[in-house]
Structure 1
Amino acid sequence: MPAELTPAPARRRGRPQRLPEDPHTVASGQVGCDQRIAWLLSVNRVLGPDPDLARRDGFIAALRENGVAVDASRVSRWESGLQPLPSRVVATYEQVLGLSSGSLVSVAAGLRRSFGSGPTPRENALSDTEMSDAELNRLIDLTEAGNATGADWLRLADHLSRFDRVFLREQDWTALCHELVTELGSAVGAGYVRRYEAAAAFIRHTNARRHLIMAIGRFVTHPDAQVVAPVLNLLSEVPDPAAAALTLRMLAADTDNIYLRRAASSVAAVKLARGHFDDAALPRLESHVLGALRRGESLDGRLDSFDLAVRLPASSWQQVTGGLRTRRAHGLVEQARQGDELVPSARAASVVAELAPSIQAATPTHQAQDPDLMLRRLLREALLHSHKPRRHHAALLIAASPYAPAAARLLLDLAADTNDLMAARAWTVLMRLGDGGRRDRVVELAAKEERPTIRARALVNAGLGGAMTSEQNRAITAGYDERRSLERHATLFALGMAGAPELGELADHPDPETQRAAKWWLTQGPAIHDADVAR
């Protein structure tokens, strides 16, 4: 239990945060973090199931019933993006609109943290009142026992972040961080996003950082670990030398785990963009990029290394280009370095021009709506931006909006596209959006897809959906081939997250790698779907 909590000193209010925009993918530099968060609140109100709350006067009345006295002018400012919104305002929207606690707060906090200096501690607080000691004790007991939801983790992190110093016993910090990191390996949807934001708060806290980095290291370096990226991504959140050193170690060419190298490449790209590496790290990053680009894989297969190549300083990129064997790899990276998209601008615009109106038309509304330009922008970024954090956060914004079900259904159609890159990108966005109520279709496609890299992503989506029927478990297992590492890994992910009984059989498989992976999943447990999040 906390022996002492030292309050954080008051800080001056920060400037409104702006998401850096690239001129090739957007028309204006004025659509930043604040505007995106305002859009998220607005569409959840206007396109929500309650027609009274969709009207501004009805929403204001509901706010007043919940003890929040505001007028139309203030709500207008909240939903225009003209000022940063404190987390407690976002939490108020969740409460009034009947959304899961932290479902919007976590998405907004992640966006601000990733693309700006973030709000001040006062703005970041979920409420104006502090947690009681009894409630703090309850939350710590709940989290250590593995019985906490993502909302519980978020509340605990919010409380601890109010203090510069939080003194817990060593074993308490170790237990908390171990449990949180382990849950990140299996949590899905809003449950994962809320836990990730809690972990991001932990890793930025002076007292928790060392313990969380150690927990990350133990988890991802386990010789049989089957889930790496959702945990390793936390190293991108801080410029801590230990985090940079661990990232470079995971990136090393002699690392046996290909999935660990890919995840480390993605983290390195983010850390490089955020200035977390010194010049001494550049030769190692250059060497990794050169090796990845020379292997001749498809663009989708080397996307994490591609992202890192795009973020390299100009001098480092020149060093890499001298060692490339083909001009194709050079041309793809140059295109992204100039335009920050994976495909030519005209192709990106064409894809979104077809998707966005269909998604908007398939989303229920209480009144006629104008074309949603923000939806178009987010779809384009989620599918085709060259930088993974931009793709990730754009997808999370859509996933937290009422557009998510329709977007998921239409992207599932795109996932069957004959173009490998577009199909793979659609499946990846679906990992954030869910299946849109087409769970059986996801499993069907995963079982019959013949393209290895596309099948792997489809299998991951099947696993993220949780438990499958006995027939579906057998269909997924029927395609298992231990000789193909990519599909072996993805199949075991699907079965592991589904908690399929076939894992027990695979734990006795003659292939040693299959045995170890199946046993790891039996220890890790199935997907965590928070009970307070609608599925």
Structure 2
Amino acid sequence: MRRPPLVSGGLVRRTGLAPTVGWLLRTNRVLSPITDLRRASRFAPAFGGGSWPHGPVSESRVSRWESGFTPVPHAAVRRYEELLLLPPNTLVAPLDNLYRYVAAAEPLRLTLCRDTLPDDPSEGLDNLLDLAVAAAPLTGGQWDDLTAALVADPRIRLVPSASWSTITDRLVAEMVMSDGVDWLQRHEALNRLLAHPVGCQAAIDSCASLARDRENQVFIETVCALEATGHPDAARHVFAQLRDPTHQRARVGALLAAMRKLTVGHFTEEQVADLVPLVVDLLADRDTAHLAAQLAAGLPLDRDRRYRQFLARHRTPVTTPPDTLSRQQTLAARIAYAASAEATHDQVLRADPILPVLVEDTLFHPSPDVRLYTRFLVAATPYRAALAAALANELGGGRLRHDPALAEAILDSLRILGDRRQQPLVERLAIADGVPTAVRVSAAHAVGHLGDGVARTVVEHAAARLAGPPDGTGGDRPVLEAIIYSLGINGRDDLLRELATDPRLPATARRSASWWLDRPAYVRRSASR
């Protein structure tokens, strides 16, 4: 099938990838707490050394990188991290994922060019492979090195062939339990293996196998990961979850994957035709109608006369109505100004024209992928804490009553941007009376990403509300399931054990808690490294 032009959306579509990357680097330098390095005239002379083996750089070269006129190599991004005392991979991980997403095709090469790989890619590979198959702890950085070496020389063959499955099974298992930069690195590592000429089959099978497991607790990203490869088996598994999903969240993941695969041309003409009646059915389902409408927007209206008028009525508008767009832009500008005023040390970035666009994309962009990658991009800057505080402030003032969709978008953003300072507010929302169920579910999912653990009182309150009918019906069931997810991400085994053995709870809730406890210990240890 002929591939339609890719519209990556968001800031990258409007300004280009290189200027976006340059903005990330410049923002981190100019807002760095290391005041001596805020000026390029002092930053450039210090650049030589560390991960940058190419000697000194000029001030003009730094300027070209940060303005987007010159591509930035991997070693330079690493050197920014070192000089600005950022944790390793703070900048590399989001850029690796962003580059690959914009590339669209499934490139085997590393799109954030590694110019410092060893001449022999197998150097050190054997040790990393031994760690991966021996159930030893692996960090996100080691997954990065392992998959970078495999991609650098696709002729490398693993013996026995089962090693591919061992590696990809473990990688997927760690990815669904990890968070933040740890998740980004494993997500990129999986994308690399999904593009590998040999490893792709094992990677597809690992995702599909976990998605078919009805006891699995993380469905969306497991199925959605299949968007990264054009292999026919990936499309087959996506269609299977659209037709007969293991879980409603698996169908959501399949819809997200289908949007991307349709955009980049992974589906054949016959598969696009098969997609039309499926989308029509999903448009009638309240739980999937919104995503199905977005998928319908990408379907050709001349595909099937029987559905043409129906699809035309339900296609999501390509453009946002002017009055809605104006309200969104006004809100984004207000949040961006509050964050900028808090984070900036002087007037240099006070009028940053990029930040309001990023805030707008973080909250309102129709593509879940664009929202996700934008949140990670902003989280990699000194704006992060101030932006999280400004977003949390917006949850007051009647937003929950008058605009629950915005409240959900803010809570989903706080999963990536927030920290323990927003945890008490989000915990209160998860169990509050009079708050829409969808908002409480978003809060319950977010709380596990904000601090060191979920408060016992929150768990007890949610469990008490659900205790009663053995079938676990009612609006509180998804809230408790989301809280169990947060406990799993946090590694709160004590509370998980209590829920797994609580006779008041429905069997589904007890099994959900048990699933997290049953994950291999080495997977759980590695997922947070």
State the TM-score bracket (shorter-chain normalisation): 0.7 to 0.9
Q: Could you say which residue in structure 2 is the equivalent of 1:501?
A: 494
Q: Could you say which residue in structure 2 is the equivalent of 1:452?
A: 437
Contact 1:188 1:528 in 2 (8 A): no
From 326, 330, 333, the equivalent of 1:346 is 326
Per-residue deviation, residues 407-449 of structure 1 (Å, max 9, x unmatched) = 1122223345221111111112222223363223222222226
Moved more, 168-177 or 441-450: 441-450
Moved more, 157-166 or 459-468: 459-468
Contact 2:74 2:113 in 1 (8 A): yes
Whole-angstrom CA distance in 1 between matches of 2:506 and 2:113: 50
Q: Could you say which residue in structure 2 is the equivalent of 1:392?
A: 372
From 421, 439, 442, the equivalent of 2:423 is 439
Moved more, 182-191 or 393-402: 393-402
From 391, 395, 406, the equivalent of 1:422 is 406
C-alpha spacing 1:441/1:391, structure 2 compared with 1 (3 Å): same
Report the count of equivalent residues. 501
**Residue 140, structure 1, aligned to residue 114, structure 2:** no
Contact 1:139 1:156 in 2 (8 A): yes
1:376 Cα offset (Å) = 1.1
Q: Could you say which residue in structure 2 is the equivalent of 1:279?
A: 269
Aligned to 1:225, what secondary structure does the other structure show? Answer: coil
C-alpha spacing 1:256/1:159, structure 2 compared with 1 (3 Å): closer
Structure 2 counterparts to residues 31-430 of structure 1, below 5 A: 31-66=15-50, 67=53, 68-116=55-103, 121=110, 124-125=113-114, 127-130=116-119, 135-144=124-133, 145-169=135-159, 170-252=161-243, 254-296=244-286, 302-315=289-302, 320=307, 322-323=309-310, 330=314, 333-335=315-317, 337-339=318-320, 344-365=324-345, 368-416=348-396, 417-418=399-400, 419-430=403-414
Aligned to 2:454, what secondary structure does the other structure show? Answer: coil
Moved more, 271-280 or 435-444: 435-444
Whole-angstrom CA distance in 1 between matches of 2:89 and 2:455: 31
Contact 1:266 1:307 in 2 (8 A): no
Contact 2:224 2:253 in 1 (8 A): yes
Whole-angstrom CA distance in 2 between matches of 1:257 and 1:251: 10
C-alpha spacing 1:20/1:267, structure 2 compared with 1 (3 Å): closer
From 486, 506, 530, the equivalent of 2:478 is 486
Q: Could you say which residue in structure 1 is the equivalent of 2:460?
A: 474
Per-residue deviation, residues 375-429 of structure 1 (Å, max 9, x unmatched) = 1111111211112222121111111111111111222233452211111111122
Aligned to 1:266, what secondary structure does the other structure show? Answer: helix
Aligned to 1:179, what secondary structure does the other structure show? Answer: helix
Aligned to 1:264, what secondary structure does the other structure show? Answer: helix
Whole-angstrom CA distance in 2 between matches of 1:38 and 1:173: 37
Whole-angstrom CA distance in 1 between matches of 2:143 and 2:324: 42
1:134 Cα offset (Å) = 6.5
Contact 1:342 1:386 in 2 (8 A): no
Kindly provide the amino acid, as one letter, of the partner of residue 507 in structure 2: P
Kindly provide the amino acid, as one letter, of the partner of residue 494 in structure 2: P
Q: Could you say which residue in structure 2 is the equivalent of 1:14?
A: none
**CA RMSD for the aligned pairs?**
3.0
Aligned to 2:48, what secondary structure does the other structure show? Answer: helix
Aligned to 2:100, what secondary structure does the other structure show? Answer: helix
**Residue 522, structure 1, aligned to residue 517, structure 2:** yes
**Gap regions ≥5 residues in structure 2:** none
Aligned to 1:455, what secondary structure does the other structure show? Answer: helix
Whole-angstrom CA distance in 2 between matches of 1:437 and 1:286: 46
User: Which TM-score applies when normalising by structure 1?
Assistant: 0.85
Kindly provide the amino acid, as one letter, of the partner of residue 345 in structure 1: L
Kindly provide the amino acid, as one letter, of the partner of residue 252 in structure 2: R
